[in-house]
Amino acid sequence: ETGVTQTPRHLVMGMTNKKSLKCEQHLGHNAMYWYKQSAKKPLELMFVYNFKEQTENNSVPSRFSPECPNSSHLFLHLHTLQPEDSALYLCASSQVGPDHQPQHFGDGTRLSIL
């Protein structure tokens, strides 16, 4: 496989459930990101990991918990979510450096909270 792979592609869960989103990148990048994409809103950066260390947490509620066990894998653990958390969750990776490398995105997980 190449690029950035996200699983599952679709997830429906109740507010009391616990689930995890998975992201894997096969590009040898040193940074990984979680974004939330809601209708008619810009992508919202949630978490950033550089070299497996979390460097940003944009005031994300604690019901979202990221995990980056190595530079190729990123997880987003979900528990007791709210209906307004229904959105497309995108994972991205990039090679951080001075040469303007782009972020490569996965196809996202479409999350619906009942």
Partner 1 sequence: KNQVEQSPQSLIILEGKNCTLQCNYTVSPFSNLRWYKQDTGRGPVSLTIMTFSENTKSNGRYTATLDADTKQSSLHITASQLSDSASYICVVRSNTGNQFYFGTGTSLTVIP
Among 81, 105, 111, 113, binds partner 1 (CB under 8 A): 105
For partner 1, how many residues bind (rule: CB under 8 A)?
A: 22
C-beta of 95: minimal distance to partner 1 in Å? 11
Query: Is residue 81 involved in binding partner 1 (CB under 8 A)?
Result: no
Cβ proximity to partner 1, 66 vs 108, nearer residue: 108
One DSSP character per residue, 16-62 reads T-EEEEEEEE-S--SEEEEEEE-TTS--EEEEEEETTEEEEE-S--T
Q: Using CA atoms, how far apart are residues 76 and 81, in angstroms rounded to an integer? A: 12
Whether the Cβ atoms of residue 92 and residue 33 lie closer than 8 Å to each other:
yes
Candidates 11-19, 44-52, 62-70, 73-81; binding stretch for partner 1 (CB under 8 A)? 44-52
Helices assigned H by DSSP within 1-114: none
Residue 83 phi, psi (nearest 5): -55, -35
Residue with tokens 């690029």: 3
Query: Is residue 43 involved in binding partner 1 (CB under 8 A)?
Result: yes
Cβ proximity to partner 1, 43 vs 60, nearer residue: 43
| Chain residues in the site for partner 1 (CB under 8 A) | 4, 6, 31, 40-43, 45, 48, 50, 55, 90, 92, 96, 100, 102-108
